[in-house]
């Protein structure tokens, strides 16, 4: 097993970054494509690193090879403060387009100053930042006043049934804490080159739905009006015609105003007035042009699967489409379904719920968010720090249901074209990983030593 050097004295961040890159490359070489997952090998690898540095850990199997690792670094100055939990997942989406990659997606290749691999962004780099920060807290002898818990969980990419969902139900005593930090929340560069960091405090709800239609079958040479495919086509047309309301919550209003202080007119004028008719007009145009803006400000619908027929000359008796619907925290899954059923009224279409999670939100008036913001501004060069809605859902929902305050915090400094998780040639720059480890460690050190 590779030995990773964790400094006990002065911190050479260049060396720390190289260690993190080597660690991430090794992590990416462990194929944890989900399905089937098989995260046990990754958990054992992580346990070996922790043991080498004197930190004990436990592995909990939700099913064969579906492993969840939990490690705890006890407070050096125990008191009444609750633990902070660092949560990431070891499973990855993988790829069915290996031939399009320029490198082996499970080769852990370091090339041209970048670490390539499936899961580099989502979210093995986060696991490395968390692990490195935990090891640095110990080796640097930081006088922590609360326990720090590290979770490396399974199955996030497929709903969390064998991961955080199971762990927070079956072993809550092992992973309970006052705060949880997980995936989401990146750094960005403003047009003037200044860094801007986001911390995700809310997540959209998830609805996976299957629309199914039935109709007359027959030979393809004899068209059947009202076939299953015709009905599905009409249903999808109506679904895409559902009006996309723009949601601007109170937190958004407050923090767009803060960003306005760092940009020039006319953007500063608009950001200070996000609910004005002029801004709404601007946002409607932006939502139509930008998938990212649509994801942040509206409920969204994506067709992710279509099935009908088995032969070129046979009209199928059944057709189906799977919809991935993401619901804004200012809405609800119930309201979304009501809209959907109204849109499909009068059509012969079945609607099946595959998966359903409500949106989740955490408060911002607490010491953790204030500490994160202060450290990022004062020690990490951030021009501004703002809370952001994550337009997807993560394991944080399981902790929020338990009353835990949760934030998405991956303090890499990213370019927009580097944020495409699950994409071909997914990668993290070595310099960026160094920045991420430094930012993560400093924020964790300052909060846990306070």
Using one digit for the tens of pLDDT, what is the confidence trace for 389-398? 999 889 999 9
185 pLDDT higher than 70: yes
What was the pLDDT predicted at 95?
A: 83
Grouping H, G, I as helix, E, B as strand and the rest as coil, residue 189 is strand
Q: Provide the 10 A C-beta neighbour count for residue 162.
A: 25
Is residue 53 classed exposed, middle or buried when 0-12, 13-18 and 19+ CB atoms within 10 A define those classes?
middle
24 pLDDT higher than 80: yes
Confidence category of residue 322, pLDDT binned at 50, 70, 90: very high
What was the pLDDT predicted at 417?
A: 61
Locate CATH 3.30.70.360 in the chain: 204-357
Pair 115, 430: CB distance under 8 Å: yes
d(CA 214, CA 230): 10
Domain 204-357 sits in CATH 3.30.70.360: yes
Pair 357, 397: CB distance under 8 Å: yes
**Across all residues in the chain, what is the average pLDDT?**
93
Pair 395, 153: CB distance under 8 Å: yes
Pair 17, 431: CB distance under 8 Å: yes
425 pLDDT higher than 80: yes
130 pLDDT higher than 90: yes
| DSSP 8-state assignment for residue 99 | G
| DSSP 8-state assignment for residue 205 | E
Locate CATH 3.40.630.10 in the chain: 13-202+360-448
Which class in CATH covers the domain with range 13-202+360-448? alpha beta
Confidence category of residue 96, pLDDT binned at 50, 70, 90: confident
d(CA 65, CA 60): 10
Nearby residues of 112 by Cβ (< 8 Å), 6 or more positions away: none
Edge to edge, the sheet with strand 114-116 lists 109-111, 114-116, 427-429
């Amino acid at each position: 097993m590779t030995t990773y050097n964790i400094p006990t004295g002065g911190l050479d961040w260049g060396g720390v970054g190289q260690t993190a890159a080597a660690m991430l490359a090794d992590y990416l070489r462990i194929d944890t494509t989900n399905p089937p997952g098989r995260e046990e090998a990754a958990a054992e690898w992580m346990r070996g690193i922790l043991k080498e540095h004197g930190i004990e850990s436990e592995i909990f199997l939700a099913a064969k090879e579906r492993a969840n690792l939990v490690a705890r670094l006890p407070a050096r100055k125990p008191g009444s403060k609750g633990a902070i939990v660092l949560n990431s997942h070891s499973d990855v989406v993988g790829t069915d387009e290996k031939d399009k990659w320029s490198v082996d997606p499970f080769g852990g290749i370091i090339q041209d100053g970048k670490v390539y691999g499936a899961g580099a962004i989502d979210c093995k780099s986060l696991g490395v930042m968390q692990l490195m920060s935990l090891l640095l807290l110990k080796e640097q002898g930081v006088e922590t006043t609360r326990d720090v818990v590290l979770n490396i969980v399974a199955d996030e990419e497929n709903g969390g049934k064998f991961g955080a969902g199971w762990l927070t139900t079956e072993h809550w005593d092992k992973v309970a804490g006052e705060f949880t930090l997980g995936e989401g929340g990146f750094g960005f560069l403003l047009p003037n080159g200044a860094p801007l960091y986001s911390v995700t405090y809310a997540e959209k709800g998830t609805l996976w739905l299957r629309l199914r239609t039935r109709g007359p079958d027959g030979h393809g040479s004899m068209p059947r009006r009202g076939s299953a495919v015709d009905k599905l086509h009409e249903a999808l047309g109506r679904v895409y015609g559902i009006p996309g309301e723009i949601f601007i919550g109170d937190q958004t209003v407050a923090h767009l105003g803060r960003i306005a202080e760092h940009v020039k007119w006319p953007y500063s004028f608009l950001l200070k007035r996000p609910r004005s008719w002029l801004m709404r007009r601007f946002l409607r145009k932006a939502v139509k042009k930008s998938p990212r803006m649509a994801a942040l400000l509206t409920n969204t619908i994506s067709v992710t699967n279509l099935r009908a027929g088995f032969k070129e000359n046979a009209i199928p008796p059944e057709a189906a489409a799977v919809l991935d619907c993401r619901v804004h925290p200012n809405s609800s899954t119930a309201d979304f379904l009501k809209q959907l059923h109204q849109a499909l009224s009068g059509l012969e279409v079945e609607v099946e719920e595959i998966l359903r999670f409500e949106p989740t939100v955490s408060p911002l008036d607490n010491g953790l968010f204030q500490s994160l913001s202060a450290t990022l501004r004062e020690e990490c060069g951030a021009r501004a720090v703002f809370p952001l809605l994550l337009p997807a859902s993560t394991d944080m929902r399981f902790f929020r249901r338990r009353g835990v305050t949760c934030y998405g915090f991956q303090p890499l400094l990213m370019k927009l074209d580097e944020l495409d998780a699950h994409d071909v040639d997914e990668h993290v720059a070595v310099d960026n990983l160094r920045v991420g480890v430094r930012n993560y460690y400093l924020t964790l050190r300052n909060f846990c030593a306070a």
